[in-house]
């Protein structure tokens, strides 16, 4: 027998009119229902009146539940066949077997079912392909977070040789307003990342409190969900500008969902079809696109123009923009050579003697060069240009420092310590336009002092100066042939022994004993 299915709205209207005092026949006539149907609805409503407690919606839900109305379409015989094989299908799905393979296995068992029916059954009955519910993360406060991404976004015009070069871009997206800044670069390095950040702070008019990058090697040396190890150069830059770095997890786009697909629209909408000849032209076009096109286009999520929302809410909350450009340091790990110098940016810098043969961490900025050993500062030098040398005399022994710096005064003072005339002789040797060419003669003079003694050499130097003879060879000859006066030693006196006895005690009387003859008893 055919029957007319009554919807929830009609059930609700029956109950509402009945509560207003309308008769059953009038309700049936007004809604086009049979009186018996209206009477049955009212009887069910009276039975659930206690459950509804006067609530019309609760009464309607209770009546519909008692009616047991099934608004879905009836299942086919193939669906029932899938229910009969539920355990078989569920077991293979739990072991990672593909659904297309399960369909072929069912076919071998004599069950022919379409993939669409099997797929619907697996989704509705077994939870196949059902993911965890997506929970949107609340936006941050104004000016708090900016998300950073990078990728290849365009090509430059072919050069005279016919070569075409692509370029990448650092893309900054404000989390709250979705305002965006694009900074094209020829390559992705830590230096270009810092340059992009400096340009972004100027574009936005301030610094965001938190930067959320992906795990690019130019910013994150070692990715870790708990304790990522950041690049030392970028970390130092973040400290100088006062913002924090919060890298995302590896292969977790939900950590940076708002900027994860920023590369594609920048590549297609900003630089797609453009004929650009240089990076500077690409930068100018990107800024114009961010301000006039993307920034003034109504965002599908916020339903506001990103540039207008940023100007109204986020710009006043940003940290102050940097007043001076950042001096990007260059880190290296040079080895200290045998001459106690290490090379940094093609220049040589001296270090103390104990660091010879070791590798140190060197940080070179615009004005200074610092050397670290296990993060402990060991030496600081003013920076010099390529090919130059910066030597600190305190790093060397005095003799080596004097030789390295060509300090003639040091050797004159050293010679004067061995006698007045020795100092005068050394000073006369070094007098002239090229004193360094005669420094070896001073070394030979000091060696004569060590060999013959200071008094003899000082006396010989006095004679040489009086004769105006300034030859170290002749001075050595003079010392070799000069008589050496040896002082006479006093007479040696033997002290009186403490236990000396008179000679009479040593006199022994000679007693002659007869030699025994052969055969006598001894």
**CA distance linking residue 399 with residue 245, whole number of Å:** 51
- pLDDT, tens digit, 9 for 90 and up, residues 137-182: 777 889 999 999 999 999 999 888 888 899 999 999 999 999 999 9
pLDDT > 90? residue 379: yes
**Which is nearest to 221 in space by CA: 247, 243, 197, 240?**
247
Query: Residue 42 has what pLDDT?
Result: 83
**Which is nearest to 118 in space by CA: 368, 351, 129, 472?**
129
DSSP secondary structure string for all residues of 70-91: --SPPP-HHHHHHHHTHHHHHH
**Percent of the chain at pLDDT exceeding 90:** 41
pLDDT > 70? residue 49: no
Q: Three-state DSSP class for 316?
A: helix
Range scoring the smallest mean pLDDT among 136-140, 272-276, 418-422, 450-454: 136-140
Domain boundaries, the chain: 8-67, 77-126, 145-317, 330-398, 408-481
Q: Three-state DSSP class for 153?
A: strand
Overall pTM surpassing 0.75 (yes/no): no
Average pLDDT over residues 210-229: 90
> What is the side-by-side strand order in the sheet with 166-174?
180-185, 166-174, 145-155, 210-213, 244-245
Mean pLDDT of the chain: 85
Range scoring the smallest mean pLDDT among 136-145, 178-187, 254-263: 254-263
- pLDDT, tens digit, 9 for 90 and up, residues 1-21: 444 555 778 888 888 888 888
pLDDT > 90? residue 44: no
Range scoring the smallest mean pLDDT among 76-90, 402-416, 437-451: 402-416
Q: State the Cα angle at 45 between 39 and 46, rounded to 5°.
A: 90
Q: Are 319 and 208 in contact (CB under 8 A)?
A: yes
Query: Residue 466 has what pLDDT?
Result: 86
**CA distance linking residue 63 with residue 40, whole number of Å:** 10
Average pLDDT over residues 354-361: 93
The encoded tokens of residue 362 equal: 């060197």
- pLDDT, tens digit, 9 for 90 and up, residues 454-504: 888 888 898 888 888 888 888 888 888 876 555 555 656 666 655 667 777
What are the angstrom distances between the C-alpha of 138 and each of 135, 175, 176, 455, 476? 9, 10, 10, 92, 93
Q: Are 361 and 331 in contact (CB under 8 A)?
A: yes
CATH of span 145-317:
3.30.420.10
**CA distance linking residue 172 with residue 145, whole number of Å:** 10
Query: Residue 1 has what pLDDT?
Result: 42
């Amino acid at each position: 027998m055919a029957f007319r299915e009554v919807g929830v709205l009609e059930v609700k209207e029956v109950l509402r009119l009945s509560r207003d005092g309308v008769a059953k026949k009038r309700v049936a006539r007004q809604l086009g229902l049979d009186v018996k149907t209206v009477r049955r609805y009212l009887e069910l409503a009276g039975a659930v009146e206690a459950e509804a407690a006067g609530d019309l919606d609760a009464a309607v839900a209770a009546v519909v539940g008692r009616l047991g109305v099934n608004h879905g379409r009836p299942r086919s015989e193939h669906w029932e066949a899938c229910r009969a094989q539920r355990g078989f299908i569920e077991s293979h799905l739990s072991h990672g077997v593909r659904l297309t393979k399960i369909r072929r296995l069912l076919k071998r068992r004599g069950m022919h079912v379409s993939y669409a029916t099997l797929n619907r059954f697996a989704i509705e009955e077994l939870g196949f392909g059902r993911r965890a519910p997506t929970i949107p993360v609340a936006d941050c406060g104004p000016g708090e977070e900016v998300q950073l991404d990078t990728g290849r976004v365009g090509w430059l015009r072919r050069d005279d040789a016919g070569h075409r070069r692509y370029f990448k871009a650092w893309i900054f997206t404000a989390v709250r307003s979705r305002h965006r800044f694009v900074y094209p670069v020829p390559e992705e390095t830590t230096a270009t990342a810092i340059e992009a950040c400096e340009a972004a702070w100027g574009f936005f008019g301030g610094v965001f409190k938190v930067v959320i990058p992906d795990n690019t090697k130019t910013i994150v040396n070692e990715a870790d969900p708990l304790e990522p190890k950041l690049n030392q150069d970028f970390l130092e830059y973040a400290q100088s500008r006062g913002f924090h770095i919060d890298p995302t997890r590896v292969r977790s786009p939900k950590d940076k969902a708002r900027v994860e697909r920023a590369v594609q629209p920048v590549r297609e909408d900003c630089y797609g079809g453009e004929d650009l000849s240089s990076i500077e032209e690409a930068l100018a076009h990107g800024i114009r696109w961010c301000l006039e096109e993307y920034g003034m286009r109504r965002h599908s999520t916020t339903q506001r123009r990103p540039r207008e929302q940023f100007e109204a809410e986020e710009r006043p909350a940003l940290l102050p923009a940097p007043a001076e450009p950042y001096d990007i340091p260059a880190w290296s790990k040079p080895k200290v050579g045998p001459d106690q110098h290490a090379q940094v940016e093609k220049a040589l810098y001296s270090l103390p003697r104990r660091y010879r043969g070791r590798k140190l961490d060197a940080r070179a900025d615009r004005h200074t060069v610092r050397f670290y050993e296990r993060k402990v500062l060991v030496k600081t030098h003013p920076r010099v240009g390529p090919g130059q040398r910066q030597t600190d005399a305190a790093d060397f022994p005095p003799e080596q420092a004097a030789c390295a710096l060509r300090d003639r005064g040091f050797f004159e003072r050293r010679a004067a310590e061995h006698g007045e005339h020795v100092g005068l002789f050394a000073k006369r040797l070094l007098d002239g336009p090229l004193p360094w060419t005669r420094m070896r003669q001073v070394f030979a003079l000091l060696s004569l002092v060590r060999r013959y003694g200071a008094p003899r050499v000082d006396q010989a130097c006095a004679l040489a100066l009086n004769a105006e003879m300034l030859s170290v060879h002749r001075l050595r000859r003079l010392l070799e042939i000069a008589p050496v006066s040896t002082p006479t030693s006093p007479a040696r006196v033997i002290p009186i022994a403490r236990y000396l006895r008179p000679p009479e005690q040593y006199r022994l009387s000679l007693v002659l004993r007869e030699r025994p003859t052969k055969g006598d008893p001894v």
